[in-house]
Amino acid sequence: MTDHDFELIDRYWRAANYLSVGQIYLLDNPLLREPLATAHVKKRLLGHWGTTPGLNFVYAHLNRIIRDRDLSVLYICGPGHGGPGMVANTWLEGTYSEIYPDVPQNAAGMHKLFRQFSFPGGIPSHAAPETPGSIHEGGELGYALAHAYGAVFDSPDLIAACVIGDGEAETGALAASWHSNKFVNPRVDGAVLPILHLNGYKIANPTILARMPPEELRSLLVGYGHEPIFVEGNDPRTMHRLMAAAFDEAFDKIAAIQAAAREGGDNERPRWPMIVLRSPKGWTGPDVVDGKMVENFWRSHQVPVSGVHSDPAHRQILEDWLRSYRPEELFAEDGSLLPDLAALVPDGDRRMGANPAANGGRLRIELDLPSVDAHAVAVPTPGGSRGEATRVLGAYLRDVMVRNKDARNFRLVSPDEASSNRLDAVFEVTERAWMERIEPYDVHLADEGRVMEILSEHLCQGWLEGYLLTGRHGMFACYEAFIHIVDSMFNQHAKWLKVTRDIEWRAPIASLNYLLSSHVWQQDHNGFSHQDPGFVDLVANKKADVVRLYFPPDANTLLCVADHCLGTYDRVNVIVAGKAPAPQWLTMEEAKRHCEAGIASWPFACNVADGETPDVVIAAAGDVPTIEALAAVDLLRRKMPKLRIRFVNVVDLMALQPKDRHPHGIDDADFDVLFTTDRPVIFAYHGYPYLIHRLTYRRANHNNIHVHGYQEEGTTTTPFDMTVLNELDRFHLAIAAVRRLPDHGGEEGRAAIRYCEKRLAAHRLYVEAEGVDMPEIQDWGWPYATAADAGD
């Protein structure tokens, strides 16, 4: 590269910096064609300068190498609040104006660009769904590297250049993400180039990685499996040369690694290059303001010089700062970028703002889904067969793997729990991804595995998000209790989806599908610490059109639900399903109808027709609650043969909500037919009871709905005893039903209650002596072929 080349890059960088400062400060006079006046600056100064010049520096140099080598590069902007930089660069390269024609590449467009930033009705201050080229919201920190890796899995031609802020690097999710390089296969995956940006400061503190001794930092990065290349300094002239050389070296290495792996030979995990960019926070901004150090210190984090609206001296600092970029050397008379700078921009989709991976829906190919019928569990009579729901799903997922093998667009992620959650069938056709040493006695490890396991829910979630956002599909199988580890990541993804639904140019992406198993009622190995069914409560807080909650009661319904979810887009689907052997209720045909309805009475367990009014409704959502509720129905029908009972099962929890609250909500009229308007409803629910109240509080019969669910009681005990501790068991449900009848069901009702109490006492004695549940409870299944048989 010649001096002239570097001069061009420097001018391009100055243009991006100028536009970044302009966005934070200017309402008008965008090209500084007149002296800066009060009326030209915003009243409310919002936004973040500190990280921006470094981000712009990286962008300019990436443009250079993309053009030189015709690369496909995705820019992942990890530092918080890098919005001004990302927006500035996409405007410079033209992608911004192509997507938003009302912000053209001229003076009027620049005026609009500045005004809209952090302005009501405008755009946010960080990279966001609105930002071209972004799959990563720079809001909550920590997920950049996981997103980058997710993006390059199965994308052999893609390189994710991932800028990691040194603040972000202190988070747990980011700290764990470094080991993602143990899962990248250079033969079939793309590459991640981490660019650790040490600008030294957070909001009001130095950063750990910037202050630790340099040799310790190098050791750490080598320990992470990287070959770090250091670019350090503050003189732009020198830094441009260092950065260009560093990128040449890094991209050479990536090319060499990929070439070696793709030409065959052994495929050992390589030492991937990475870059450490140590540059001043607020680089090129004001040095000192009011006698206080600003550049290269945390005071440049947000708005380095404030009060510019009222303080002429501060306004002068701003004007000097803006003019220091010499806009007249950057922009033409009409406000467009000068041609020699515009020539630095890569072509078409090679521009990072236009990289197809950043709008992954454009690349999405629908999954080829197997028939659920082929996997149906035979259910000769309700409860007449047993099965393990997630094991059945495992076989279905195996076939998903097979049918989409060539498309290479489906992965299963799990924190070391795929087998524990009984999805092993997938290992008949694929392996766990693993690039470390493989021993002869290892089982189901391979460099090309499509199952990703690491003991980090953060990475499972982050990888899958990156994978989905770049146009692919997947499922996250997790212990129910520990999915809370990614509550905040879920929040951010749901927010991203909510916003993208209003952005026309963003093509829909595949839904994020959670399979939550080893759930609260199946923790006999683990106990209280593993019992928390509250993730769905968090999910229910999000926008109705983005979230779905499913509680399939058996294997066939689980298949139908999973099959449906894998075909949806722009949603988060949560499926809660057990792994323990359990009675099966519905044939595949019945399961399809049930899942279609979302909520329905099960005729085999009712002794009233759908049009009639029962004495009591017993309802259930969840697999274990369904067993206990049906056992309660059975018990009541034997002890109180004249009692008229309707049994209702809810597979799609959102169906409980009014139609105006959720698209899946059923009509009030239909709800009232099922639940009546005045009869007691005993509702056995998988999770914390409140969610059922919250979803039904607008329904006519709400005051009669009595929910039994998890009461935050538990320990290491038998599965049935767990339900007893939380009063979700058949006996407590039956007692609750009888107590709500007129006169408590009379003599028959009192006898039923006495019977239940005796059985509870017998249970207590038995488990404490034997350590297992009574055989008649373990083996219970609905003992009748039809409703007419029951109660005989």
Residues 217-256 touching a copy of itself, rule: CB under 8 A, are: 217-225
Q: Does 1 bind a copy of itself (CB under 8 A)?
A: no
Least distance to a copy of itself from the beta carbon of 318, Å? Answer: 17
DSSP letters, 580-644, are SEEEE---HHHHHHHHHHSEEE-GGG-SS-TTSPPSEEEEEESHHHHHHHHHHHHHHHHH-TT--
Task: Please identify which residue in 157, 442, 596, 612 interacts with a copy of itself, judged by CB under 8 A.
Answer: 442
- The residue among 358 and 423 lying less far from a copy of itself, judged by its C-beta, is 423
Which residues ranging from 488 to 527 are in contact with a copy of itself (CB under 8 A)? 488, 491-492, 495, 498-499, 524-527
Which residues ranging from 539 to 568 are in contact with a copy of itself (CB under 8 A)? 540-543
Question: Which conformational region is residue 708 in: left (phi greater than 0), alpha (psi within -120 to 50 degrees), or beta?
Answer: beta
Distance separating alpha carbons of residues 246 and 276, to the nearest angstrom: 9
- The residue among 416 and 596 lying less far from a copy of itself, judged by its C-beta, is 416
User: What single letter denotes the amino acid at residue 195?
Assistant: I
> 222 and 211 in contact (C-beta within 8 Å)?
no
Please tell me the count of residues contacting a copy of itself according to CB under 8 A.
Answer: 120
Task: Please identify which residue in 242, 772, 774, 785 interacts with a copy of itself, judged by CB under 8 A.
Answer: 772
Sign of CA dihedral 248, 253, 258, 264: positive
Least distance to a copy of itself from the beta carbon of 518, Å? Answer: 11
Distance separating alpha carbons of residues 762 and 776, to the nearest angstrom: 12
Identify which range of 241-249, 509-517, 537-545, 603-611 contacts a copy of itself by CB under 8 A: 537-545
Q: Write phi, then psi, for 606 (nearest 5 degrees).
A: -100, 145
- The residue among 268 and 320 lying less far from a copy of itself, judged by its C-beta, is 268
Least distance to a copy of itself from the beta carbon of 348, Å? Answer: 30
Identify which range of 85-93, 117-125, 321-329, 642-650 contacts a copy of itself by CB under 8 A: 117-125
Q: Does 478 bind a copy of itself (CB under 8 A)?
A: no
Q: Does 668 bind a copy of itself (CB under 8 A)?
A: no
Q: Does 198 bind a copy of itself (CB under 8 A)?
A: no
**Going residue by residue from 8 to 37, which x/- string records binding to a copy of itself, judged by CB under 8 A?**
-------------------x----------
- The residue among 198 and 586 lying less far from a copy of itself, judged by its C-beta, is 198
Which residues ranging from 77 to 96 are in contact with a copy of itself (CB under 8 A)? 81
Least distance to a copy of itself from the beta carbon of 98, Å? Answer: 23
**Going residue by residue from 154 to 183, which x/- string records binding to a copy of itself, judged by CB under 8 A?**
-------------xx-xxxxxxx-xx--x-
Task: Please identify which residue in 15, 123, 337, 574 interacts with a copy of itself, judged by CB under 8 A.
Answer: 123
97 CB contacts (<8 Å, ≥6 apart)? 91, 103, 104, 105, 109
Distance separating alpha carbons of residues 95 and 739, to the nearest angstrom: 67
Q: Does 52 bind a copy of itself (CB under 8 A)?
A: no
Q: Does 740 bind a copy of itself (CB under 8 A)?
A: no
Which residues ranging from 672 to 701 are in contact with a copy of itself (CB under 8 A)? 688, 690, 693-694, 697
Q: Does 111 bind a copy of itself (CB under 8 A)?
A: no
**Distance in Å from the first CA to the final CA of the chain:** 91
Least distance to a copy of itself from the beta carbon of 765, Å? Answer: 11
Neighbours of 291 (CB within 10 A): 5
Distance separating alpha carbons of residues 705 and 696, to the nearest angstrom: 9
Q: Does 484 bind a copy of itself (CB under 8 A)?
A: yes
Name the nearest CA neighbour of 315 among 305, 324, 325: 305
> 685 and 692 in contact (C-beta within 8 Å)?
yes
Identify which range of 99-107, 330-338, 433-441, 467-475 contacts a copy of itself by CB under 8 A: 433-441
Least distance to a copy of itself from the beta carbon of 422, Å? Answer: 11
298 CB contacts (<8 Å, ≥6 apart)? 50, 201, 202, 203, 204, 205, 206, 281
Q: Count H helices, E strands: the chain?
A: 25, 22
User: What single letter denotes the amino acid at residue 462?
Assistant: G
Task: Please identify which residue in 33, 35, 157, 208 interacts with a copy of itself, judged by CB under 8 A.
Answer: 208
Q: Does 204 bind a copy of itself (CB under 8 A)?
A: yes
Task: Please identify which residue in 255, 342, 445, 673 interacts with a copy of itself, judged by CB under 8 A.
Answer: 445
Least distance to a copy of itself from the beta carbon of 424, Å? Answer: 9
Residues recorded for the chain: 792
Question: Which conformational region is residue 142 in: left (phi greater than 0), alpha (psi within -120 to 50 degrees), or beta?
Answer: left
- The residue among 137 and 554 lying less far from a copy of itself, judged by its C-beta, is 137
Q: Does 465 bind a copy of itself (CB under 8 A)?
A: no
Which residues ranging from 606 to 625 are in contact with a copy of itself (CB under 8 A)? none
Distance separating alpha carbons of residues 731 and 187, to the nearest angstrom: 58
Pairing of strands 512-517, 385-388: unpaired
> 182 and 225 in contact (C-beta within 8 Å)?
yes
Which residues ranging from 343 to 382 are in contact with a copy of itself (CB under 8 A)? none
- 3-state SS class at 184: coil
Distance separating alpha carbons of residues 484 and 494, to the nearest angstrom: 15
| Residue that the structure tokens 């070696």 belong to | 260
Least distance to a copy of itself from the beta carbon of 44, Å? Answer: 5
Task: Please identify which residue in 400, 418, 565, 738 interacts with a copy of itself, judged by CB under 8 A.
Answer: 418
Question: Which conformational region is residue 771 in: left (phi greater than 0), alpha (psi within -120 to 50 degrees), or beta?
Answer: left
Specify the DSSP class assigned to residue 300: G
Task: Please identify which residue in 453, 563, 634, 652 interacts with a copy of itself, judged by CB under 8 A.
Answer: 453
Least distance to a copy of itself from the beta carbon of 610, Å? Answer: 28
- The residue among 27 and 673 lying less far from a copy of itself, judged by its C-beta, is 27
- The residue among 495 and 646 lying less far from a copy of itself, judged by its C-beta, is 495
Task: Please identify which residue in 197, 253, 458, 592 interacts with a copy of itself, judged by CB under 8 A.
Answer: 458
Task: Please identify which residue in 2, 3, 348, 441 interacts with a copy of itself, judged by CB under 8 A.
Answer: 441
Least distance to a copy of itself from the beta carbon of 481, Å? Answer: 7
Which residues ranging from 287 to 316 are in contact with a copy of itself (CB under 8 A)? 293, 297, 302
- The residue among 563 and 570 lying less far from a copy of itself, judged by its C-beta, is 570
Least distance to a copy of itself from the beta carbon of 207, Å? Answer: 8
Identify which range of 212-220, 245-253, 277-285, 642-650 contacts a copy of itself by CB under 8 A: 212-220
SS (H, E, C) 692-709: HHHHHCCCCCHHHEEEEC
Task: Please identify which residue in 430, 601, 718, 726 interacts with a copy of itself, judged by CB under 8 A.
Answer: 718
Q: Does 434 bind a copy of itself (CB under 8 A)?
A: yes
DSSP letters, 188-222, are TS-EEEEEEEE--B-SSSB-HHHHS-HHHHHHHHH
- Which pair of tokens denotes residue 321? 């700062």
Question: Which conformational region is residue 44 in: left (phi greater than 0), alpha (psi within -120 to 50 degrees), or beta?
Answer: beta
Distance separating alpha carbons of residues 779 and 767, to the nearest angstrom: 15
Q: Does 750 bind a copy of itself (CB under 8 A)?
A: no
- 3-state SS class at 132: coil
Pairing of strands 385-388, 581-584: antiparallel
89 CB contacts (<8 Å, ≥6 apart)? 16, 56, 59, 60, 352, 353
Distance separating alpha carbons of residues 733 and 630, to the nearest angstrom: 10
